[in-house]
């Protein structure tokens, strides 16, 4: 093709120019200088538990295994492995009393921000990020995601739970201690609603889940990064971010609530391998990741959970912000090749 | 309201949490340190014309007025006021030969990036940004936008022209010399398409332009920033960016092609006043702006051009990127009050 390509996302009506004219190679990003992180007392480090709101979930060491905190003393314990606390500046807050749908959905353009906003401290070790975490610790993190997801999604006013991670100040992490966040919302957010609609339409027309179809189409192609017994990792056809990749379970399921412990272990290993590859290629770049799931029962057949990882290697500027179109200077095929090589080396 | 508000955009199905719990005031941003700009030879400064591709449009000084470059010597001239050149790394490129719709729209998920990508150097003076530009120079800039828009929109393969500006490295400006960009695309980008749909629907249901309705509703309210004989400036109800504001002409028109010279002068003064207010409040923050217009004839009745200014005072992180929902820590009402006061002082 003699012109740049403009590609559409698998599901969304979202278009991206793959602008190869700029000739960026994945390794070009290694030269970028990283923003320095502020130092000071870390409110997430062991011993500073009094600096955060009261914990909601705590995993404690118990012999070779873990124990979930149950009583006051457990929650006060400094010897924790995982700690989940309410966000000090929540975007969404729990209802003060029982609340009906009409009190939440105020009008066509106004909704009360009822829900939850939590911070999940991933390790007592300040720097134990997924790219270099011990696998048993990363398994705790994923189990904690699932524990919180199960509890939050059971609340009557919760329609969606976003589990996400910001890594590095440029990607919006205001604290450098390894942590994720969870936001429970009283409605299904726009992008997920759009994905649900597209996956329902695909199911109706093709009698097949669109993600199962993507797995099949991409599993031997130039955008494949990794595949193992349980997961496939690929650079999506219309990546809006340089070096973007998605981790998709081979088993069709709408949420991660039903993962077995062996699947969780493989997920941890897969995630670590890919994030470590990215870290090595692009000099520990800032990134965001977010789980895409469906909680509503009518979506179980057509929706397929996955994790999207967005390295922050470009800036969305006036064009992107005012048109909703994107420009990506690294082809997904080059991103996949580079990650594939690094992971297998 | 005891909870944070989640607000919907006037037109788009785009939702934002106005997260006042964080208690950010507009002046908090003044403390931010700005990224330093790299120094070196500026390819946009007079004398370095050989560092850019051949100019497409040049305004030259002629007595008290201007003259558009016509012949070779004019285009080579170093004594220019405005200079428009092709982008060295274009996202969209002109067709090499006559090209039909089928050769552009390759399939449902692939389009050839046919179009134009131009850089408009706004002044021979490196630092003459709109916030502190001389009004006659800013009038030249707007006239040049209109000149290029008229020419680009006349091409048969052009369906939309995005005129935008990135200010500061954090907002994606790779060069600090005052400049804007224009991208002509072979289709209407997503956000504009969505706005068109919403404005057509509103027109059908209310027999009125939705923007004319917004002007009426907001012109005496808490989100008004400025109004004069020709324009209104407001902080939109569901601003996704802290300190975001929109400049809307009172006269209904789908594009800026029909502005009179006196309207252009008032537009220049309005834009300068607002950007200067923002500069003073938030320590010359990075920002993006983008014109929203409609070129297709069937939209002339329902669509109403305007300029959207997005200060870059927050980072879109994992939540925003994976859900398409936004969190804004400054209420539009506080943003409007702060800009209103600064502009009128």
The pLDDT-based confidence of A103 (bands split at 50, 70, 90) is: confident
Q: The whole model's pTM is what?
A: 0.94
Closest CA to B12 of A184, A108, A293: A108
With beta carbons under 8 A apart, name residues in chain B contacting A179. Answer: none
d(CA A119, CA A57): 10
d(CA B106, CA B120): 31
Q: Which residue has the higher pLDDT, A78 or A229?
A: A229
Residues 6+ apart with CB under 8 A from B136: none
Average pLDDT over residues B5-28: 76
Q: What is the pLDDT of residues A10-67, one digit of tens each?
A: 888 888 887 775 556 666 666 555 555 556 899 999 999 999 999 999 999 988 888 9
Mean confidence (pLDDT) of chain B: 92
Number of domains in chain B: 1
Task: Tell me what pLDDT residue A255 has.
Answer: 97
Task: Tell me what pLDDT residue A7 has.
Answer: 86
Q: Which residue has the higher pLDDT, B307 or B1?
A: B307
Task: Tell me what pLDDT residue B40 has.
Answer: 82
Q: What is the pLDDT of residues A65-91, one digit of tens each?
A: 889 999 888 887 888 999 999 998 899
End-to-end CA distance of chain A: 32
Count of H-run helices and E-run strands, chain B: 8, 16
A65-69, B221-225, B318-322: which range is least confident on average? A65-69
Closest CA to A252 of A202, A299, A312: A299
To the nearest whole Å, the CA of B63 is away from the closest chain A CA by 35
Q: At what angle do helices A261-281 and A332-344 cross, to 10 degrees?
A: 110
Q: Helix, strand or coil for residue B258? A: helix
Task: Tell me what pLDDT residue B38 has.
Answer: 57
Task: Tell me what pLDDT residue A32 has.
Answer: 57
Yes or no, beta carbons of A288 and B321 under 8 Å apart? yes
Closest CA to B121 of B39, B42, B65: B42
Average pLDDT over residues A99-114: 88
With beta carbons under 8 A apart, name residues in chain A contacting B157. Answer: none
Most B-contacting residue of A1, A2, A4, A6 (CB-CB within 10 A), to test interface: A6
Yes or no, beta carbons of A4 and B181 under 8 Å apart? no
Task: Tell me what pLDDT residue A35 has.
Answer: 54
To the nearest whole Å, the CA of B47 is away from the closest chain A CA by 25
Q: Which of B2, B113, B325 sits opposite A17 (nearest CB)?
A: B113
Residues 6+ apart with CB under 8 A from A30: A281, A282, A283
Yes or no, beta carbons of B237 and A319 under 8 Å apart? no
Q: Which of B170, B183, B323 sits opposite A319 (nearest CB)?
A: B183
Q: What is the DSSP string of A39-107?
A: PS--TTSTT-GGGSPPPSEEEEEETTEEEE--SHHHHH-S-EEEEEEE-SS-SSB--SS---HHHHEEE
A213-217, B2-6, B100-104, B221-225: which range is least confident on average? B2-6
Closest CA to B18 of B32, B31, B5: B5
Helix or strand (DSSP H, E) at A194: helix A190-206
Sign of CA dihedral B68, B74, B78, B79: negative
d(CA A278, CA B285): 31
DSSP character at residue A62: E
Question: Over 90: is that where the pLDDT of B31 sits?
Answer: no
CATH of the domain at A123: 3.30.428.10
Q: Which residue has the higher pLDDT, A87 or B29?
A: A87
With beta carbons under 8 A apart, name residues in chain B contacting A189. Answer: 15, 323-325
Where residue A179 falls (left for φ over 0; alpha for ψ -120 to 50; beta otherwise) is: beta
Task: Tell me what pLDDT residue A98 has.
Answer: 87
To the nearest whole Å, the CA of A211 is away from the closest chain B CA by 16
Whether the complex's predicted ipTM is more than 0.90 is answered with: yes
Backbone angles phi, psi at A120, to 5 degrees: -110, 110
With beta carbons under 8 A apart, name residues in chain A contacting B317. Answer: 164, 166, 171-173, 288
Task: Tell me what pLDDT residue B334 has.
Answer: 93
Average pLDDT over residues B121-146: 98
Mean confidence (pLDDT) of chain A: 92
Q: Helix, strand or coil for residue A283? A: coil
Q: What is the pLDDT of residues B171-192, one digit of tens each?
A: 999 899 999 999 999 999 999 9
**What percent of chain A lies above the pLDDT cut of 90?**
77
With beta carbons under 8 A apart, name residues in chain A contacting B165. Answer: 318
Closest CA to A340 of A250, A246, A223: A223
C-alpha A183 chain-centroid distance? 12
In this structure, are residues A16 and A239 in contact, taking their beta carbons and an 8 Å threshold? yes
To the nearest whole Å, the CA of B217 is away from the closest chain A CA by 15
With beta carbons under 8 A apart, name residues in chain B contacting A191. Answer: 322-325
Q: Which residue has the higher pLDDT, B331 or A179?
A: A179
Task: Tell me what pLDDT residue B35 has.
Answer: 54
Give me the domain span that covers residue A138. Answer: 5-344
d(CA B51, CA B37): 19
Question: Over 70: is that where the pLDDT of B33 sits?
Answer: no
Q: Helix, strand or coil for residue A50? A: helix
Q: What is the pLDDT of residues A127-169, one digit of tens each?
A: 999 999 999 999 999 999 999 999 999 999 999 999 999 999 9
Residues 6+ apart with CB under 8 A from A127: A176, A178
């Amino acid at each position: 093709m003699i012109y740049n390509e403009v590609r559409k996302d698998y599901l969304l009506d979202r278009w991206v120019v793959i602008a190869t004219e700029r000739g960026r190679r994945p390794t070009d990003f290694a030269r970028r200088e990283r923003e320095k992180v502020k130092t000071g007392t870390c409110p997430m480090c062991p011993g500073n538990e009094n600096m955060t709101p009261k914990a909601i979930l705590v995993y404690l060491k118990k012999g070779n295994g873990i124990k979930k905190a149950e009583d006051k003393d457990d929650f006060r314990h400094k010897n924790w492995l995982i700690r989940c606390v309410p966000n000090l500046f929540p975007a969404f807050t729990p209802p003060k009393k029982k609340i009906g749908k009409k009190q939440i959905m105020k009008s066509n353009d106004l909704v009360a921000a009822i829900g939850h906003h939590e911070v999940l401290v991933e390790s007592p070790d300040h720097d134990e990020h997924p790219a270099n975490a011990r696998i048993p610790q990363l398994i705790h993190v994923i189990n904690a995601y699932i524990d919180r997801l199960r509890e939050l999604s059971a609340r009557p006013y919760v329609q969606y739970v976003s589990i996400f991670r910001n890594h590095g100040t440029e990607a919006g992490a205001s604290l450098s201690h390894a942590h994720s966040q969870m936001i429970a919302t009283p409605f299904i957010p726009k992008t997920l609603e759009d994905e649900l609609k597209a996956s329902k339409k695909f199911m109706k027309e093709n009698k097949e889940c669109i993600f199962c179809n993507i797995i099949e189409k991409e599993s031997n192609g130039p955008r494949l990064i990794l595949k193992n017994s349980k997961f496939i990792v690929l650079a999506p056809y219309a990546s809006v971010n340089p070096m973007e990749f998605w981790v998709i379970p081979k088993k069709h399921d709408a949420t991660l609530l039903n993962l077995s412990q062996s699947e969780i272990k493989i997920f941890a290993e897969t995630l670590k391998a890919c994030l470590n590859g990215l870290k090595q290629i692009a000099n520990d770049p800032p990134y965001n990741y977010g789980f895409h799931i469906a909680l509503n029962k009518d979506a179980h057949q057509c929706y397929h959970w996955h994790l999207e990882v967005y390295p922050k290697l470009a800036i969305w500027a006036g064009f992107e912000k005012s048109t909703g179109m994107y420009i990506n200077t690294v082809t997904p095929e080059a991103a996949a090749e580079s990650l594939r090589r690094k992971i297998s080396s």
